[in-house]
Amino acid sequence: MVAPEGGLDAAVERTVAALLECGTEALRAQKILLRQWEELPLRESVDLSIGVFGRAFLTGEPQRLMQGFIDRKR
Protein backbone atom coordinates (compact mmCIF):
# COMPACT_ATOMS: atom_id res chain seq x y z
CA MET A 1 0.00 0.00 0.00
CA VAL A 2 1.21 3.49 -0.76
CA ALA A 3 0.02 6.16 1.64
CA PRO A 4 -0.55 9.71 0.47
CA GLU A 5 1.71 12.41 1.81
CA GLY A 6 0.82 13.03 5.43
CA GLY A 7 -1.33 9.90 5.54
CA LEU A 8 1.14 7.29 6.73
CA ASP A 9 -0.07 7.21 10.33
CA ALA A 10 -3.70 6.79 9.27
CA ALA A 11 -2.76 4.04 6.79
CA VAL A 12 -0.79 2.18 9.46
CA GLU A 13 -3.70 2.49 11.91
CA ARG A 14 -6.14 1.06 9.32
CA THR A 15 -3.81 -1.87 8.62
CA VAL A 16 -3.30 -2.60 12.31
CA ALA A 17 -7.06 -2.40 12.95
CA ALA A 18 -7.70 -4.89 10.14
CA LEU A 19 -5.08 -7.29 11.53
CA LEU A 20 -6.54 -7.04 15.02
CA GLU A 21 -9.91 -8.17 13.66
CA CYS A 22 -8.34 -11.37 12.31
CA GLY A 23 -8.12 -14.56 14.30
CA THR A 24 -4.85 -15.13 16.10
CA GLU A 25 -4.47 -18.66 14.73
CA ALA A 26 -5.00 -17.41 11.17
CA LEU A 27 -2.39 -14.69 11.59
CA ARG A 28 0.09 -17.14 13.06
CA ALA A 29 -0.44 -19.60 10.20
CA GLN A 30 -0.18 -16.84 7.60
CA LYS A 31 3.15 -15.62 9.00
CA ILE A 32 4.54 -19.14 8.78
CA LEU A 33 3.25 -19.55 5.23
CA LEU A 34 4.74 -16.23 4.10
CA ARG A 35 8.16 -17.33 5.30
CA GLN A 36 7.84 -20.71 3.58
CA TRP A 37 6.57 -19.19 0.31
CA GLU A 38 9.86 -17.30 -0.04
CA GLU A 39 11.70 -20.61 -0.37
CA LEU A 40 9.20 -22.85 -2.18
CA PRO A 41 8.18 -23.12 -5.83
CA LEU A 42 4.66 -21.89 -6.61
CA ARG A 43 3.05 -25.35 -6.85
CA GLU A 44 4.42 -26.43 -3.48
CA SER A 45 3.33 -23.13 -1.95
CA VAL A 46 -0.23 -23.63 -3.21
CA ASP A 47 -0.35 -27.22 -1.95
CA LEU A 48 1.00 -26.18 1.44
CA SER A 49 -1.57 -23.37 1.68
CA ILE A 50 -4.48 -25.70 0.94
CA GLY A 51 -3.49 -27.95 3.82
CA VAL A 52 -3.09 -25.04 6.23
CA PHE A 53 -6.47 -23.64 5.17
CA GLY A 54 -8.17 -26.99 5.77
CA ARG A 55 -6.55 -27.48 9.17
CA ALA A 56 -7.66 -23.99 10.22
CA PHE A 57 -11.24 -25.25 10.33
CA LEU A 58 -10.26 -27.76 13.02
CA THR A 59 -9.60 -24.83 15.38
CA GLY A 60 -13.15 -23.46 15.07
CA GLU A 61 -11.73 -19.98 14.52
CA PRO A 62 -12.96 -19.56 10.92
CA GLN A 63 -16.46 -20.69 11.84
CA ARG A 64 -16.59 -18.30 14.81
CA LEU A 65 -15.39 -15.33 12.79
CA MET A 66 -17.65 -16.10 9.82
CA GLN A 67 -20.65 -16.42 12.14
CA GLY A 68 -19.91 -12.98 13.52
CA PHE A 69 -19.93 -11.62 9.97
CA ILE A 70 -23.18 -13.40 9.11
CA ASP A 71 -24.87 -12.18 12.28
CA ARG A 72 -23.75 -8.60 11.62
CA LYS A 73 -25.44 -8.53 8.20
CA ARG A 74 -28.86 -9.54 9.52
Q: Give me the number of domains the chain comprises.
A: 1
Note whether residue 63 is domain-resident.
yes
Q: Phi and psi dihedrals of 22, rounded to 5?
A: -80, 160
Q: What percent of the chain has pLDDT over 90?
A: 59
**Residue range 4-28, pLDDT digits in tens:** 999 999 999 999 999 988 888 889 9
Q: What percent of the chain has pLDDT over 70?
A: 97
- Owning domain of residue 27: 23-73
Which residues, other chains included, contact 57 with Cβ-Cβ below 8 Å and sequence gap of 6+? 63
Note whether residue 14 is domain-resident.
no
Predicted structure pTM score: 0.62
